[in-house]
Amino acid sequence: MPDTARLERHGDVGAVVIDAPPLNLFGEALTRDLIAVLEEVAADLPRALLIRAEGELFTGGADVHVFEGKTPEEGGAFFGDLIQIVHRLEDMPIPTLSAVHGLCLTAGFELSLACDMIWASESARFGLVEIVVGLTPGMGGTQRVAERAGPARARELVMSGGLFEAATLERWNVVNRVLPDAELAEKSMRFAERLAAGPTLAHAATKRMVRAYLDEGVRGADARIGEISGSLFGTEDLQAAVKKFLAEGPGKATFEGR
């Protein structure tokens, strides 16, 4: 059983919980344990996934001890493990939501950027501050900020090494929603439950369509509508929901994720 991260089940919602006090630092242990937990998620997929952290902050970032004395080859291997976490999370065919409170630095911010959406508390502060040790982000954060906010904002965020308020990153389209501190935990779980109750295969198709747009542009994504969206006509959820709509009107259907 992993020590610094765990998987909780709340009905159809899975919750990946980071719990490596006091600072939830990303070192070898948390990296290893997150990989193990995401393997556990993939082996028995929930219908939505929430990522959160215990303690007073989401994460203080990377454990700088792991950088000491590393060769370029060893550093590259460590970053390879970290990006493996990001790719596993991004590739999950279910909605994913990161609920961030307190400080969220470097690898923890990059983990959140791998999720479909980020919700944050009003007091949350974000930073890709690797420049303090002469690095640039190695877990995909730069390019994922650029994907959400544009290249100029990505350069500003990384090169400044600054801390950014949740409200600022919401304005930049990096964070989806900012909530009062006392409401984040409950409301993010309720939203995850709402996602989990929806048509899971349609959510997966939405993720594929967004990725097609990012990779291939609008016309490239258009060319894949038949393949991606058209396939949903073969799902039990769509067939049952159409019948329910015609018989009882909108908003009456329930979904099983099939």
Q: Which CATH number describes the domain made up of 200-248?
A: 1.10.12
Q: What are the tens digits of pLDDT across the range 101-154?
A: 999 999 999 999 999 999 999 999 999 999 999 999 999 999 999 999 999 999
Residues of the chain with CATH 1.10.12: 200-248
Share of the chain above pLDDT 90, in %: 90
CA pair distance 150, 155, nearest whole angstrom: 9
For the beta sheet containing 177-179, the strands, ordered from the edge strand earlier in sequence to the opposite edge, are 5-10, 13-18, 48-53, 96-100, 117-121, 177-179
Higher-confidence position of 47 and 65: 47
In angstroms, the CA 189 to CA 82 distance is 26
CA atoms within 13 A on the CB side of 253: 19
Superfamily of segment(s) 5-196:
2-enoyl-CoA Hydratase; Chain A, domain 1 (3.90.226.10)
- Closest among 179, 189, 178 to 14, alpha carbons compared: 189
CATH 3.90.226.10 domain residues, the chain: 5-196
Distance CA 203, CA 186 (A): 22
Residues 197-225 pLDDT 10s: 999 999 999 999 999 999 999 999 999 99
Range 44-68 average pLDDT = 94
Q: How would residue 10 be classed by pLDDT, with cut points 50, 70 and 90?
A: very high
More confident residue, 44 or 67: 44
Which neighbouring-strand residues pair with 165? 125
- DSSP letters for 78-126: HHHHHHHHHHHHHT-SS-EEEEE-SEEEHHHHHHHHTSSEEEEETT-EE
Residue 1 in this model has a pLDDT that exceeds 90: no
By residue count, the chain amounts to 258
Q: Which of 33, 40, 36, 31 is nearest to 82 (CA)?
A: 31
Reduced to 3 states (helix: H, G, I; strand: E, B; else coil), residue 152 is: helix
Helix ranges, the chain (H): 28-43, 72-90, 106-113, 141-149, 151-160, 166-171, 184-196, 200-222, 225-228, 236-248
Please give the Cα distance from 149 to 135 (Å, whole number): 21
